[in-house]
Chains A and B, each alone.
Chain A
């Protein structure tokens, strides 16, 4: 019995060029209190530029684990994750940092904005870390794209939850990543915004969500249960 769980619409038979994101028969085990817990079980999927994919399932089904593996923030127990054609488990720390900084944007569930920095300074942060001396114009452009140009100089605590989420999106996009990973984005307006980004900028978006209404905005919905893709 082949226990490989796949996302049928995303799998293609040996594409001629390497896909943007390729996850091949990935297993991820965690050790808790001496016991091994399987978070992902033989998961396989591929994504191309401009695809908008939703991972849907209950808490603990492995959505966030899959996002972390896709963003090279964690590594599989077995199987391979290839990002932009590069196997993440073959890179050293410096190469991983560069890969994440240049190719991946991540929108955290709790946004992770720095509260001592203004909105525009938060958005500039990835560019400053990459060594850009004058990041302000690009940061303002990204804020304008998410509709927050006029709030650029506010502090995060002066924003609503939705506005903070938009700032997090602008920050994730400021270095023009090829893939955007979103952990539980909420609200129809945000989903519409992500849909636009995917379509207009050809950025691949992999989104973990509980929401079944997300299906209306994405190209593909992958349902997960107990660490496996079921639909």
Chain B
């Protein structure tokens, strides 16, 4: 009972007596918390977007082997035959220019058979995915 009286006198009653000040303080605290949350969310969104771009470019591989001038295809074959539970797929990454638009785009070459063996990645040409919009058009890519 004594502590309830103290709570009312020291906390509740001053808040009710000075409503405008209490609202301002509450609003200011809420705004501060919202700004911190917004910054955190924006950071997460930027990181997610970057990760998504990386996956588009590099796939969801656990390990990527690169070499200056490219990895020789003979090595890819040798590695793929090793008796380990590995999924090996070759990938070509470069840039191309769309003639009609004069726009540079990333060019990714995928071994669909190897990819299809290891994971469910169904890419249908002409399905509306902009990433593969020009892939069948030999005239379009330099």
Interface residues of A (CB under 8 A from B): 114, 116-117, 121, 125, 127-133, 135
Contact = CB atoms under 8 A, between A and B. Distances in A.
A135 B3 CA distance: 12
Interface stretch (B9-17, B21-29, B61-69, B133-141): B9-17
Contact of A116 (B3, B6, B13): B13
A121 to B, nearest CB: 6
A116 B1 contact: no
A133 B2 contact: yes
3 A-B pairs closest in CB distance: A133-B1, A128-B2, A116-B14
Contact of A128 (B5, B13, B14, B17): B5
Contacts, number: 24
Main secondary structure of the interface of A (DSSP, over half): loop
11 contacts: A114-B10, A116-B10, A116-B17, A117-B9, A117-B10, A128-B3, A128-B6, A129-B6, A131-B2, A132-B2, A135-B2
Contacts of B14: 116
A114 B11 CA distance: 12
B1 to A, nearest CB: 4
Given A117-B10, A127-B2, 17 more contacts: A114-B10, A116-B9, A116-B10, A116-B13, A116-B14, A116-B17, A117-B9, A121-B9, A125-B6, A128-B2, A128-B3, A128-B5, A128-B6, A129-B2, A131-B2, A133-B1, A133-B2
Interface of B: 1-3, 5-6, 9-10, 13-14, 17
Contacts of B10: 114, 116-117
Contacts of B17: 116
Q: Is the interface of B mostly helix, strand, loop or mixed?
A: helix
A125 B6 CA distance: 8
Report which residue of A114, A125, A128, A133 has the largest number of chain B beta carbons within 10 angstroms of its beta carbon: A128
Contacts of A117: 9-10
B25 to A, nearest CB: 15
Contacts of A129: 2, 6
A72 to B, nearest CB: 23
Contacts of B9: 116-117, 121
Q: Which of B2, B3, B6, B17 has the most CB of A within 10 A?
A: B2
A161 B1 CA distance: 33
A131 B14 CA distance: 22
Nearest to B6: A128
B16 to A, nearest CB: 11
Nearest to B18: A116
Q: Which of B3, B5, B17 has the most CB of A within 10 A?
A: B5
A135 B5 CA distance: 11
Contacts of A116: 9-10, 13-14, 17
A163 B97 CA distance: 88
A135 B2 CA distance: 9
A131 B5 CA distance: 10
Nearest to B13: A116
B24 to A, nearest CB: 17
Contacts of B2: 127-133, 135
Nearest to A118: B9
A130 B3 CA distance: 9
A114 B6 CA distance: 12
A68 B3 CA distance: 27
A131 B4 CA distance: 10
Nearest to A133: B1
